Structure 1
Amino acid sequence: MKPLRKTVTALFGFNRRERRGTYVLSLVLIVLLAVRLTAFRTGRLPEEIPPLPSAGPSSAGVIEPVAAPFTFDPNTVTYEDLLKLGLSARQARTLINYRNSGARFRNPPDLARVYGIDSATVARLLPHINISDSYRTPPGEPSAGRPAGDGVNGRRIVVPAGRGGAGAEQGGFIREPVAGYDLSVNMDLNSCTAEELEKLPGIGPVLSVRIIRYRSLLGGFVDKGQLAEVYGLDSVVVATITALLSVTLDSVRPLVLDSASFGELARHPYLGYEAARRITRYRSVAPSALTLGEMVRSGVITAEQAERIAPYVRPSREASGSDYEFISSKVLK
């Protein structure tokens, strides 16, 4: 019995020094609890709350009237003037950044394209917007910058001189020639740098970097129309610079479904995290080589995703089929 008592005492007992420390710690905790219950006790609320003192004429509670709007051009207005017009600092910065990216306001309603400026603010400022002639679509030209038989905010499509002739219609737009750009050497969209892209009309430093980053995520452009997917790139600018660009497929990065890592699949703009998760899970149980058609039929990805990713997919040697990557792949070599 004594050996058992010694073992229990050794495991759970306290020596004299440990007991002394335990007493001191308990005393400190009791003192802290007493202070908390007495010093920080919430007082009783009065039965009647006295009214706030009335604000005098010079009190800060008086709302100062907003300065009356004045005529301005969103293509040239300064940050300070935007604040005077009643825009918040964030809205003013967003408009300036939007303008610095190469975008232009062709008509007063184009102000609504700026992210963060609500419709009420646009309606308030619309009567005071005056677009200068250098930016505005000239009146009396019903087809200038508009789709044939339609109207799109009166925007003008401008192309370099020498492509299609004056007034040539491409993609449903009447396109007007502008001199100053040499079409003899087209810029390769898959090998150009951000600095070279800035030489294109409507492309600033912000948009040029976005194009390069999006090209890296895609693995290369397979069609010039993919520029319309770049965030902030206006369709007018895309239609303008298309004639100055070419696409070579030698540098396009192929995507092999059977060996691509989860990260490679998830980073691709046409797939994303969820599709990558389903593909890797399906790949672990698939009885044969992966094909887009088989994954669509199994519900792993949608037909739209398959059509978009097909140009980048290189089928494995064991795979066979007659749809998607087998007819649309640009990286078969």
Structure 2
Amino acid sequence: MIILQLVFFFVDFNLIVNNTTEKQQWLSFQTEVDSLKLTHGDERLNFHPFNPNFISDYKGYKLGMSVEEIDRLLAFRKQNKYVNSAKEFQTVTKVSDSLLAKIAPYFKFPDWVNNRKDISHFKDFSNSVFANKEKIVQVDINQATQQDLIKINGIGEAISLRILTQKEKLGGFVSMEQLNEVWGLSPEVVLSLNKYFTIIKLPTIHKIDINNATLKELSQFFYFKQGLARQIVKYRSMYGDFKNIEDLIKVSGFPVNKANIINLYLSF
């Protein structure tokens, strides 16, 4: 009895209780932290398909890229160049194989890149008028007349008029890729057009002031339908002016695969 009384007198049972309580609280807090880490880890992998040419600093960080890798991509893009495959993306950024394997499934390249065909099997549609010339002198597509276009096999009066009409709507072609958007032109005929025509000089375009254009003005632009024009105006009113094309592609429904072409028709 005396020993028990001495133990009760000298031992501080409150300290043991407090330590146990603090330990339990700490363990509970640690469990919550671990849960948040797991949740954060899952968020980093929750991506929608995107064009890797338009990765921002923040997007690159979310993907797990280093600052040096992001800077290499941005420097490459400043030269007005584009990566067209996962392999080319790795060559430019020098990301590791493991990181590439993780993020490459989310890459979405333009349709014209994904559907490129080997031109070696295409039939030559060149006209004898051109074939008789030993040296082909390419004509600026923006200076071509209907008579020039009809000389290409596969192009008649109707299609030649569509090409010229589309050129007028756009204010001029800025890329030969835009010929793929002309209804009725087959890939074979487009190849022939690329053989005899090119863009020697960019046309003088009345650019759209994306930060001040009205809904009607945006809706009349060839690449913006009314629904997208409304989204642009809504986004602009909520977040302020667009600084560059990278800001604009954040708008819901924006045709990211045509961003490099659309950019030439806009002013920021």
Q: TM-score under structure 1 normalisation?
A: 0.39
Q: Which of the pair is proportionally richer in helix?
A: 2
Q: TM-score under structure 2 normalisation?
A: 0.47
Instruction: Report the structure number with the largest CA radius of gyration.
Output: 1
